[in-house]
């Protein structure tokens, strides 16, 4: 058996990434492996991923890790069917960098990791984080949320309407309040 090198391991991981279908993410919500400890990995508030104090620059690696992300209580983990390791998340694990409005009735958000979600579908909702100043956040999947970057937030404000005593946006036939009138 040959010696396993960093190059071999990286090549094997990269080849496996090509097989990941982003629309069919691993069922991490069904996995409950034993906790194996924390690792020195961090997701910063700007959506960048860091390992041992250095940024992870390969987007394919970040996408792979993000597909294995799970939240339990207030802690984040990377999970596989056989192990679970804790990681640090500064604010939110995802970061919205784009928005598209289709037909004037559906608002889609896209994250740095190329997750695309329709506001109002499968539990995707928008809310304001109570930090000062309040920051817009959307839920992505299974309790995981994304901070909306400033430029996308300004574009979103173009679609805000007043409904009774609330200001908010419509998407997918649902109204999402953002603030009181």
User: DSSP letters of 13-50?
Assistant: HHHHHTT--TTS---GGG--PPEEEEEEEEE-TTS-EE
Residue whose structure tokens are 């890790």: 65
pLDDT at residue 134, rounded to an integer: 74
All residues at 6 or more sequence positions from 103 whose CB lies less than 8 Å from its CB, including other chains? none
Position 179 pLDDT exceeds 90: no
pLDDT of residue 10: 52
CATH number at residue 157: 2.30.270.10
Indicate if 176 and 114 belong to the same structural domain.
yes
Report if residue 84 sits inside a domain. yes
175 and 127 inside one domain:
yes
Look at residue 1 in the predicted model and tell me its pLDDT.
41
Q: What pTM value is reported for the model?
A: 0.79
Count other Cβ atoms within 10 Å, centred on residue 35.
14
Q: How many CB atoms are closer than 10 A to CB 131? A: 10
53 and 38 co-located in one domain: yes
Whose structure tokens read 């960093």?
Answer: 6
């Amino acid at each position: 058996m040959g010696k396993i090198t960093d190059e071999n391991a990286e090549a094997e991981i990269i080849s496996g990434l090509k097989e990941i279908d982003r629309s069919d993410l691993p069922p991490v919500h069904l996995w409950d492996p034993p906790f194996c400890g924390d690792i020195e990995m961090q997701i910063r508030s700007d959506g960048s991923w860091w390992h041992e104090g250095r940024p992870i620059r390969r987007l394919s690696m970040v996408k792979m890790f993000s597909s294995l992300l799970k939240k339990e209580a207030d802690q984040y983990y990377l999970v596989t069917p056989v192990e679970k390791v804790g990681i640090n998340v500064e604010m939110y694990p995802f970061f919205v960098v784009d928005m598209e409005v289709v037909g004037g009735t559906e608002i889609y958000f896209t994250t740095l990791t190329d997750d695309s979600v329709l506001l109002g579908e499968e539990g995707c909702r928008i809310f304001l984080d109570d930090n000062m100043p309040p920051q817009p956040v959307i839920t992505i999947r299974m309790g995981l949320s994304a901070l909306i970057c400033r430029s996308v937030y300004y574009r979103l404000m173009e679609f805000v309407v007043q409904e009774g005593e609330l200001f908010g946006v419509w998407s997918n036939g649902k109204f999402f309040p953002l603030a009181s009138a």
